[in-house]
A and B are shown apart, each in its own frame.
Chain A
């Protein structure tokens, strides 16, 4: 593998008295989508939160774009080019859609071409541009979270379950937007429980269990091997759409 955008080496993370990550080793290649898979509660969200810096790594190192960022604070990781879309979406309900986007464009005003691209991917955001984000539906809020990530040029996106609980039509919109990010050359580490989406978007996959990476390889290889899926995750993707 060529020089990865992100490399985790033996990362351990504790939350209060709980030891959640037990030495995560992971490489995220450049300009590709890496799926982070596994059963509920195995540490996928904790891994993303450790990478962005919300929870400190107790041990191990995080190398991003050739630099050790293990001790770097969250805002500096973000300014170095890491975009984060949390599982709870993290939108600012009291702010309008426009204000959410303005805030997301950290380095200056939102460029018109970028805004038009976002409107093309997510038409409802144009309709609700001046409405408080708290009044949006669940699907529209999720669109806003991805749109917010697109407001700024990022090298690496950490995206946590972007299609969770969404209607099929909205899932298609989200998948289209993620594909758009991918074609723009971004590197994406994506936690996703919807196997159809994972299969369609993923280039590489890493499977977690009990706070460790237990398998890494090509997404196509995992998608084609039902026995492997069953062994790694206790379920098969064959039933997925």
Chain B
């Protein structure tokens, strides 16, 4: 073995300012919570709004996570992602309506069972739909952004019209499963049970995704592929298969988000996914394209800010998210946690 020349670096602590700059995106959520608390003044109102904002943020994150990875991995802008949200909601709510006896029974087990079946059905259908969408619509337009926008918007319109054909043109109103109705009281605040469930599901999903990305080889391949797909292929990994897998998983997550959003609103429409895409795109952009952690933080900020502003100054609620996106992009034009792409 040849001796290496003496080159033994030592580790030095980063200056405080640098560490603060790195941690700032993560600190923004607690800062927003504190500012919200000071602005609202009433602890119980603040808690109600916070849980509502977190629930909304978690659901947006679930819808956005697949989209940000699809863009990061293959540079694909998929405007058709909203279709998976709508289809997921319609499939899932059809299961809930089909099992009305279970849904309306005063049994937590039966209620959760019907929600679980609804989620599984929605994810299976939207995952399959995502696979077909990738093969038929996305694959022919790799590397051509303008064409991607045109054909994926076209795909969105076609799928929305198919929803009209299958489920009819009217919006569908329904009631949540019995045990997920109502609220629990905590610290003088009324906290809707369903919102608490949504927060828990969102947190579990985020932790699971982080574990997959940090602890598994497939997670490493996805993270590396977002940064430099060409090099991942040069190591011997078939990135195309990984991308198809991520597209299917992202579509299934959008379907899950659609069911959860449908249960949250207690009404579903064919255009609900398209409407949600505005928030989803804001989250993906402010988080940093390709960054799951960035999308998570962005989603929580969007959810919290919208709820706080709606309480404090209802007229401003409509523009709060656009204002947030503008502010974030002026501070960090690439988003809060941008993925450094290879040249």
Q: Of B3, B6, B11, B227, which is within 8 A of A93 by CB? A: B227
Quick one: CB contact mask for A73-98 with B, threshold 8 Å, 1 for yes? Answer: 11100110000101010111111000
Q: A106 contacts B340, CB within 8 Å?
A: no
* A92 and B4 contact, Cβ closer than 8 Å, known pairs A79-B236, A103-B221, A127-B11: no
User: What is the interface of chain B mostly: helix, strand, loop, or mixed?
Assistant: loop
Judge if B318 is at the interface, Cβ distance under 8 Å.
no
Q: B227 contacts A84, CB within 8 Å?
A: no
Cβ contacts under 8 Å, B9 to chain A: 124, 127-128, 137, 140
The residues in A between 106 and 152 inclusive whose CB is less than 8 angstroms from any CB of B are: 106, 117, 120-124, 127-128, 131, 134, 137, 139-140, 148, 152
Docked CA distance A2–B228 (Å): 37
Quick one: CB contact mask for B203-223 with A, threshold 8 Å, 1 for yes? Answer: 000000000000001001101
Docked CA distance A170–B232 (Å): 26
Docked CA distance A17–B223 (Å): 32
Docked CA distance A53–B67 (Å): 29
Q: B223 contacts A95, CB within 8 Å?
A: yes
* A75 and B223 contact, Cβ closer than 8 Å, known pairs A90-B230, A127-B8: no
Residue of B nearest to A74 (CB): B233
Cβ contacts under 8 Å, B233 to chain A: 53-54, 73-75, 78
Judge if A104 is at the interface, Cβ distance under 8 Å.
yes
Q: A127 contacts B217, CB within 8 Å?
A: no
Judge if B13 is at the interface, Cβ distance under 8 Å.
no
Shortest distance between the CB of A79 and any CB in chain B (Å): 4
Cβ contacts under 8 Å, A46 to chain B: none
Q: A90 contacts B234, CB within 8 Å?
A: yes
Cβ contacts under 8 Å, B2 to chain A: 121, 176-177, 179-180
How many of chain B's residues have a CB under 8 angstroms from any CB in A? 33
Docked CA distance A173–B235 (Å): 23
* A180 and B234 contact, Cβ closer than 8 Å, known pairs A94-B223, A124-B9: no
Docked CA distance A58–B221 (Å): 30
Judge if A189 is at the interface, Cβ distance under 8 Å.
no
Shortest distance between the CB of A74 and any CB in chain B (Å): 4
Judge if B237 is at the interface, Cβ distance under 8 Å.
yes
Docked CA distance A127–B223 (Å): 23
Shortest distance between the CB of B236 and any CB in chain A (Å): 4
Shortest distance between the CB of A43 and any CB in chain B (Å): 19
Docked CA distance A75–B6 (Å): 36
Q: B10 contacts A127, CB within 8 Å?
A: yes
Cβ contacts under 8 Å, B234 to chain A: 52, 54, 74, 78, 84, 86, 90
Judge if B139 is at the interface, Cβ distance under 8 Å.
no
Cβ contacts under 8 Å, B39 to chain A: none
Judge if A172 is at the interface, Cβ distance under 8 Å.
yes
Determine which residue in B10, B232, B236 has the highest number of CB atoms from chain A within 10 A of its CB, and name it: B236
Q: Of A75, A95, A123, which is within 8 A of B238 by CB? A: A75
- 7 A-B pairs closest in CB distance: A78-B236, A90-B231, A176-B2, A106-B236, A74-B233, A92-B224, A84-B234
Q: Which residues of B contact A (CB under 8 A)?
A: 1-11, 217, 220-221, 223-224, 226-228, 230-239, 339-340, 342-343
Q: Which residues of A contact B (CB under 8 A)?
A: 52-54, 73-75, 78-79, 84, 86, 88, 90-95, 99, 102-104, 106, 117, 120-124, 127-128, 131, 134, 137, 139-140, 148, 152, 169-170, 172-173, 176-177, 179-180
Apart from A103-B224, A106-B235, A176-B4, what 13 extra A-B contacts exist at CB < 8 Å? A54-B233, A74-B230, A75-B236, A84-B234, A106-B236, A124-B7, A127-B10, A131-B11, A169-B5, A169-B7, A170-B7, A176-B2, A180-B2
